[in-house]
Amino acid sequence: MRGFYIGRFQPYHEGHHHMVEEIAEQVDELVLGIGSAGDSHTPRNPFTAGERVMMVTKSVAEFDLPTYVVPIEDLDRNSVWVSHVQSMSPAFDVAFSNNPLVIRLFEEAGVEVRQSPMFRREILEGSELRERMADGEEWGSLVPDPAAAVIEECNGVDRIQQVSDSDGADTANS
Amino acid sequence: MRGFYIGRFQPYHEGHHHMVEEIAEQVDELVLGIGSAGDSHTPRNPFTAGERVMMVTKSVAEFDLPTYVVPIEDLDRNSVWVSHVQSMSPAFDVAFSNNPLVIRLFEEAGVEVRQSPMFRREILEGSELRERMADGEEWGSLVPDPAAAVIEECNGVDRIQQVSDSDGADTANS
Amino acid sequence: MRGFYIGRFQPYHEGHHHMVEEIAEQVDELVLGIGSAGDSHTPRNPFTAGERVMMVTKSVAEFDLPTYVVPIEDLDRNSVWVSHVQSMSPAFDVAFSNNPLVIRLFEEAGVEVRQSPMFRREILEGSELRERMADGEEWGSLVPDPAAAVIEECNGVDRIQQVSDSDGADTANS
Amino acid sequence: MRGFYIGRFQPYHEGHHHMVEEIAEQVDELVLGIGSAGDSHTPRNPFTAGERVMMVTKSVAEFDLPTYVVPIEDLDRNSVWVSHVQSMSPAFDVAFSNNPLVIRLFEEAGVEVRQSPMFRREILEGSELRERMADGEEWGSLVPDPAAAVIEECNGVDRIQQVSDSDGADTANS
Amino acid sequence: MRGFYIGRFQPYHEGHHHMVEEIAEQVDELVLGIGSAGDSHTPRNPFTAGERVMMVTKSVAEFDLPTYVVPIEDLDRNSVWVSHVQSMSPAFDVAFSNNPLVIRLFEEAGVEVRQSPMFRREILEGSELRERMADGEEWGSLVPDPAAAVIEECNGVDRIQQVSDSDGADTANS
Amino acid sequence: MRGFYIGRFQPYHEGHHHMVEEIAEQVDELVLGIGSAGDSHTPRNPFTAGERVMMVTKSVAEFDLPTYVVPIEDLDRNSVWVSHVQSMSPAFDVAFSNNPLVIRLFEEAGVEVRQSPMFRREILEGSELRERMADGEEWGSLVPDPAAAVIEECNGVDRIQQVSDSDGADTANS
């Protein structure tokens, strides 16, 4: 059985990692979708899709599970979102999510969805993690080591701190 | 004379319905534009364009007025908005709106615009209606019967309640 | 039962009309999708979506069949095309088409498709009809009267003749 | 040496003008990029790209400096923003900006960026200027005369006042 | 009176130059629209918008005529093309073109269009010029000196020759 | 050292496979970009990005080389193509290609490109392979076994044969 788990992974952290560990017990193969793949260089979406592909791939290598890591660009059209995801991903049997909108969209399309209490934790950690980076506080303990290495390689903390001065502007044109 | 009246119709309700009744006395034919046609499955835009086409078409059938119901996707470019609307709609002589931006755009393009005190009511009702649905309160008396039937057929209340838990996220990628 | 039939309707002609007549015997309601809604003013796609909405609506009025006429803009992504169409259209149970790609896409999405020998005729007529208009030959006998009236109202023949001089350029930027 | 300076110029005002004067001493030629070129008719972006091209061109004519004024449409993808700007602009050697995101993007792409304390003033003035116009207060002293002439020619104050009633809606479809 | 003249200017050559000279006698100011601004690096559209802005600006400097040179990205929607062009350009009173589609679109929008026998020559020369460059033949005599200088500065001939080996592929993804 | 190799992989075949084998000797890690990721269900681009991700991932597993397989959607803007690719891919030091346009774009962006005589073979095989499938001839010997398994799992031959009847139409709207 193949499972699908989507996140923005900005960045990939221990919350995601435990989630993947839990999913690994339920599936034979796992597709990890990198959501909002086109976004980067903002306080909320600091890393490019490529940087996130590397973080995720290196981190999940420790699990004995065949994985596919696919960037998925936004289409901004909820009614075709499931088809879009399905076209970018190897065929999957079950989706893992706690996001009510994602659950609704998959269910209306007839895709089985499994929820987990761990998802909420993941969301909170992502936000706190970026704040810690922006404020120059300790963050290394919240992400798997391979992800931390990628963040350092692309000067991620420096980037977050600089773009956080933009007063919430999300694009260079704002 | 052919008139044009655009709304998001999320959903089509009694406020819109009285408006159409009023417009029906001024025109021979009416084009009803379904705005933001590509949006759906959010607390503010719960219904697809197709669901809204059906609500509107079934409801206005009671008036003895030839109508065209056309979904209009967003183009997000105010300067070409009037041309976009005109290309999607049968040619019209007068537009009905109380939205200052819509009025401005039509007027700069040389299209006659008529306003009505009823528009404001319509806006308030749309918002209150969706809140009632989300909160599980009575809503049936606020929409024409044919629209209510469509909402039930697509499990609209259930959908609104589920996506309202998404904390305001407007797309599955947020 | 509700049926769905999509065409570019450039313009709506007798081939389409007979097709609709045939479909009318099989369904209770019919959705007519105006394909490539954003295209206009080219030799192959001379009419705007709004002009086509009017041609179709006026012409099918003679059948005793509830119809919905919906413009559908191109999304240029085959993998999400069915979802896109479904979001713009009232829910339908069966699609009518002879286009192999359309059939394939609907079938992969689990939608029933019915074919008819009449479709081929429709395609040939569309192309020949536009050539006749461009060459100043007789064309009125090939389209229902209400459609002919719309073509005249928007100076359609004049437009086709003028843009046919563009040597196949499909947009003003070519 | 050719410099690049981007702004939304909504409208072009004395803050921008002093900035250009300062830049003029450091470069041989200057490219002025009109950012968010596709936006117009909103309280925050009232003027079209064409109106802004005229304001800027007429105003900078007083400096003895070869200038290029190029509208730049948003691409909403930070990771390709620098390439997009470079493709729309004559080649430049140095960019002038105080926007942290713009600085970050240029620097990651290896483009030299120069900052100036004057930028902050420019931002404040833009916002205050639009408010003055919306409130019917004096504004003429805050913009160069040629820009004021353009604003009057297109009934800019009238437009701002009308769209400011839209309660923050940024497009006609909101 | 302000005139508008659009071309792809791939590259700007003597045919365009004589055309501008002719137009200069009829108007007080001229807007030169750089069409298909987003296209570059193909056999048919070798130069970026920025490179073309520079070619045109430097070349027309010899005429005593205030000019605006504005890149215009394709919108691929004929029905809104005129509005798009008008939003990117300072307001103009008359458009110059021999392209039947462009003429039709402007005329349907109520804009005066003037034609000239010189346009045809311009089209032929653009195509021949690119072929000469691709084949390594003499081309310098066909373009104004300032345009030739820009072409050399960006290694234009080298670029055309290299991309002409792509067998007509228009994008890197083909 | 990390390398980058992009192809449409429609489907992944022995030509690609030998190429990857050759590249594997020159790099420590390899990024395989799935080009035109949004295209599918046409004679030229029959498979979805997800199907291609699976073909490639399963096939290259036999090499002892860390690989990243990333779908890359078309942006149709040559001038930003390199930035787009770089944002979707883990950072790479060298690109492998024989496509003159791709080579030109990478070189203008300062990225090292390596060519190989094997690329030409790869292009020919892709085209011949799809023809064999469409004509019902033997094709299994031209693709690695894991790719053949994916093609069978998604009824790929059946799909190619059906859409090949569409007379070259590339989208459902043509």
Asked whether the beta carbons of C67 and C29 are under 8 A apart, the reply is yes
- Per-residue confidence (pLDDT) for residue C45, from 0 to 100: 97
Instruction: Answer whether C172 sits within 8 Å of E99, measured CB to CB.
Output: yes
Domains of chain B: 2-166 (3.40.50.620)
Interface contact B65, partner C, CB < 8 A: no
Which of A77, A99, A104 faces B159 most closely, judged by CB atoms? A104
Residue of E nearest to B87 (CA): E79
- Per-residue confidence (pLDDT) for residue D63, from 0 to 100: 95
B119: closest CA of chain C, how far (Å): 25
F133: closest CA of chain E, how far (Å): 21
- Per-residue confidence (pLDDT) for residue D165, from 0 to 100: 78
Q: In this structure, which long-range contacts are made by residues A130-136, counting pairs with CB atoms below 8 Å and at least 24 apart in sequence?
A: A130/A10, A130/A43, A130/A44, A130/A46, A130/A160, A133/A157, A133/A160, A133/A161, A134/A43, A134/A160, A134/A161, A134/A164, A136/A161
SS3 D106: helix
For residue D115, the chain A residues in CB contact (below 8 A) are none
Residue of E nearest to B88 (CA): E79
- Per 3-state DSSP, chain A is made up of helix, strand and coil in percentages (nearest 5) of 50, 15, 40
Gap between the Cα atoms of F102 and D69, Å rounded: 31
For residue A40, the chain D residues in CB contact (below 8 A) are 78-79
For residue B53, the chain C residues in CB contact (below 8 A) are 68, 70, 88-90
pLDDT in tens, E147-166: 999 999 999 999 999 999 76
Asked whether the beta carbons of F150 and F51 are under 8 A apart, the reply is yes
pLDDT in tens, F137-147: 999 999 999 99
- Per-residue confidence (pLDDT) for residue F98, from 0 to 100: 82
Instruction: Answer whether C50 sits within 8 Å of B154, measured CB to CB.
Output: no
For residue E86, the chain D residues in CB contact (below 8 A) are 48, 50
Asked whether the beta carbons of C7 and C33 are under 8 A apart, the reply is yes
Identity at D96, one-letter amino acid code: F
pLDDT in tens, A57-77: 999 999 989 999 999 999 989
- Read off the pLDDT band of C174 (50, 70, 90): very low
Interface contact B51, partner C, CB < 8 A: yes
Instruction: Answer whether B171 sits within 8 Å of A101, measured CB to CB.
Output: yes
Q: Give the DSSP H/E element, type plus range, for residue A132.
A: helix A118-134
Interface test with D, best of B101, B106, B108, B170 (most D CBs within 10 A): B101
pLDDT in tens, B150-164: 999 999 999 999 999
pLDDT, mean of residues A143-166? 94
pLDDT in tens, E67-105: 999 999 999 899 999 999 999 999 999 999 888 999 999
- Per-residue confidence (pLDDT) for residue E124, from 0 to 100: 66
For residue E75, the chain B residues in CB contact (below 8 A) are 80
Interface test with B, best of C36, C45, C89, C155 (most B CBs within 10 A): C89
Interface contact B172, partner A, CB < 8 A: yes
Given a contact as 3+ CB pairs under 8 Å, which chains touch C? Answer: A, B, E, F
Q: In sequence order, which residues have a C-beta less than 8 Å from that of residue E86 and are 6 or more positions away?
A: B79, D48, D50
Interface contact C65, partner B, CB < 8 A: no
Gap between the Cα atoms of E39 and E45, Å rounded: 6
SS3 F69: strand
pLDDT at C166 over 90: no
- Read off the pLDDT band of D124 (50, 70, 90): low
Instruction: Answer whether F87 sits within 8 Å of D75, measured CB to CB.
Output: no
- Read off the pLDDT band of E118 (50, 70, 90): low
Residue of D nearest to F108 (CA): D83
Q: In sequence order, which residues have a C-beta less than 8 Å from that of residue D45 and are 6 or more positions away?
A: D8, D10, D36, D39
Residue of B nearest to C49 (CA): B88
For residue E159, the chain F residues in CB contact (below 8 A) are 104, 108
pLDDT, mean of residues D111-139? 85
Instruction: Answer whether C78 sits within 8 Å of F39, measured CB to CB.
Output: yes
Residue of F nearest to C102 (CA): F172
pLDDT, mean of residues F91-118? 92
pLDDT at D126 over 60: yes
Nearest residue to A23 (alpha-carbon basis) of A98, A85, A108, A82: A98
- Per-residue confidence (pLDDT) for residue D48, from 0 to 100: 98
- Per-residue confidence (pLDDT) for residue E171, from 0 to 100: 57
Given a contact as 3+ CB pairs under 8 Å, which chains touch B? Answer: A, C, D, E
- Per-residue confidence (pLDDT) for residue D120, from 0 to 100: 60
For residue B75, the chain D residues in CB contact (below 8 A) are 173
Q: In sequence order, which residues have a C-beta less than 8 Å from that of residue E94 and are 6 or more positions away?
A: E1, E3, E4, E26, E27, E111, E112, E113, E114
pLDDT, mean of residues C165-171? 56
Gap between the Cα atoms of F48 and A72, Å rounded: 13
Cβ contacts from A onto C, under 8 A: 24
pLDDT, mean of residues A132-152? 96
pLDDT at F172 over 90: no
pLDDT at E174 over 50: no
- Read off the pLDDT band of C36 (50, 70, 90): very high
Structure tokens at A88: 């970018």
The complex's ipTM works out to 0.94
pLDDT, mean of residues C52-71? 97
Which of D50, D86, D90 faces E90 most closely, judged by CB atoms? D50
Beta partners for residue A84, in sequence order: none
C55: closest CA of chain A, how far (Å): 29
pLDDT at D123 over 80: no
- Read off the pLDDT band of B87 (50, 70, 90): very high
Nearest residue to B29 (alpha-carbon basis) of C148, C73, C150: C150
- Read off the pLDDT band of E21 (50, 70, 90): very high
pLDDT, mean of residues A99-121? 87
Between D143 and F123, where is the model more confident? D143
Interface contact E29, partner D, CB < 8 A: no
For residue E161, the chain F residues in CB contact (below 8 A) are none
Strands in D72-166 per DSSP E: 94-96, 112-114
Instruction: Answer whether A83 sits within 8 Å of C79, measured CB to CB.
Output: yes
Instruction: Answer whether D79 sits within 8 Å of F77, measured CB to CB.
Output: no
Which of B40, B165, B171 faces A100 most closely, judged by CB atoms? B165
- Read off the pLDDT band of A146 (50, 70, 90): very high
Gap between the Cα atoms of F55 and F145, Å rounded: 9
Where on the phi/psi map is residue E91: left (φ > 0), alpha (ψ -120 to 50), or beta? beta
Instruction: Answer whether C172 sits within 8 Å of E100, measured CB to CB.
Output: no
Structure tokens at F156: 């790929």
Asked whether the beta carbons of B109 and B4 are under 8 A apart, the reply is no
- Per-residue confidence (pLDDT) for residue E125, from 0 to 100: 81
Cβ contacts from C onto F, under 8 A: 51
Least-confidence region, from A145-154, B83-92, C32-41, F110-119: F110-119
For residue F83, the chain D residues in CB contact (below 8 A) are 79-80, 82-83
- Read off the pLDDT band of D168 (50, 70, 90): very low
pLDDT at E170 over 80: no
pLDDT at E36 over 70: yes
- Read off the pLDDT band of F168 (50, 70, 90): very low
Interface contact A111, partner C, CB < 8 A: no
Query: In C, residues 66-95, which contact A (CB 8 Å cutoff)?
Result: 75, 77, 79-80, 82-84, 86-87
Are chains D and A touching, using the cut-off of 8 Å on CB pairs and a minimum of 3 such pairs? yes
Interface test with D, best of E53, E67, E80 (most D CBs within 10 A): E53
For residue F48, the chain A residues in CB contact (below 8 A) are 86-88
